[in-house]
Amino acid sequence: MLSEAAAEGSSKVVEVLEHELTTQPLVDIHLGGLDLSISNAVVYLWASAIVVFLIFFIASKRMRNRPGLLQSFAESLVNFGRGHLTGQIGEKGKKYYYLVLTIFVFILTTNLIGLIPKPGLMKPYLPTANINVTAAMAVVVFLTTQYLGVKNTELRRKREPIALSSDVPPVVAWTVKIVLFPFRILFTLLRKIGGYLKSWLLPPGVPKVLAVPLNGIFFLVHMVGELFRPVSLSVRLFGNTLAGHLVILVMLGLILEFGKWFVFVPAGAFVVIMTGFEIFVALLQAYIFALLSVLYIEGAIYAGH
């Protein structure tokens, strides 16, 4: 619909929307069936990644005892990541503080860079207004939670060492151990996955007649719940940024279309207010994304107890 309206050469509103909400390929790279071309979305994602990297890198280069502006800003971010954001993870989850902090700062930087008005030559684009970008981040969090859930399952029967009788020559003993090693790792992995999936079922102690259908229902419900989490994470971020951005762009398009001053005054004020609100929403959504990631990781580490 968008493209056919633009083809008619109709209103400026559609022009403005096309201006900022479509990805335009800059360098065309097509590998096989995949479209890997470098578009403006990719360039803006790289730009925000570089900005995030530079903030922390420059701040850590010359650390002084009386920190300047950038260093205290970076320090407050790191303290936020270690304290407030990741409150309940505790000991086992310390490795994931910085993953969550990076998610937070990256989403925040991407949204803020996307809010700055840029001329058409720079082909502006808000990457988080694209469901693929937010889905990619949500999939990273989802895979992390599943990996941690499997890794932290406690097996009741530990892996026993291979006991061979003592009159076997050491060469044979070592060969047997080396050959069997990958299979034992595989079996432990399968048992851990089984244990993790078993935590999605009913607690033990239910008679078999009831347990089988109830187990099936429980498992399905839990699986849908688990699969819904990355969907909700990505859709939340995507919808919030896209909605705010659309409102701002439509207002700008209205100003451009009717060039009169009595359209410009209220619509201009509205655009300013909405941009301010969008900054607030960007911060809030980045915080919520990171906080929910923390909660899911914590739920996976301390599995069920």
Partner 1 sequence: MDAETAKMLAAGLGIGLAAIGPGIGIGYLTGRATEAIARQPEAAGDIRTAMLIGAGMTEALTLYAFVISIILLFVA
Site residues, partner 1 (CB under 8 A) = 1-2, 131, 232, 235-236, 238-240, 242-243, 284-285, 287-288, 291
Question: In this complex, which beta carbon is closest to partner 1, that of residue 1 or of residue 163?
Answer: 1
Candidates 108, 83, 96; CA nearest to 143 is 96
**Helix, strand, or coil (residue 30):** strand
Question: In this complex, which beta carbon is closest to partner 1, that of residue 164 or of residue 243?
Answer: 243
Question: In this complex, which beta carbon is closest to partner 1, that of residue 287 or of residue 302?
Answer: 287
Q: Considering the complex, what minimum distance in angstroms separates the CB of residue 104 from partner 1?
A: 13
Q: Considering the complex, what minimum distance in angstroms separates the CB of residue 242 from partner 1?
A: 7
> Would you give the end-to-end CA distance of the chain in angstroms?
51
Q: Considering the complex, what minimum distance in angstroms separates the CB of residue 49 from partner 1?
A: 24
Candidates 295, 287, 276, 285; CA nearest to 237 is 285
Given the structure tokens 């950038």, which residue do they identify? 70
Contacts of 233 (CB under 8 A, 6+ apart): 134, 137, 138, 141, 289, 292, 293
The kind and range of the H/E element at 64 are none
Question: In this complex, which beta carbon is closest to partner 1, that of residue 173 or of residue 247?
Answer: 247
- Cα→Cα distances 85→1, 59, 73, 111, Å: 42, 21, 16, 19
Q: Considering the complex, what minimum distance in angstroms separates the CB of residue 239 from partner 1?
A: 3
Question: In this complex, which beta carbon is closest to partner 1, that of residue 6 or of residue 47?
Answer: 6
Question: In this complex, which beta carbon is closest to partner 1, that of residue 39 or of residue 240?
Answer: 240
Q: Considering the complex, what minimum distance in angstroms separates the CB of residue 291 from partner 1?
A: 7
How far apart CA 300 and CA 22 sit, in angstroms, is 37
Q: Considering the complex, what minimum distance in angstroms separates the CB of residue 281 from partner 1?
A: 9
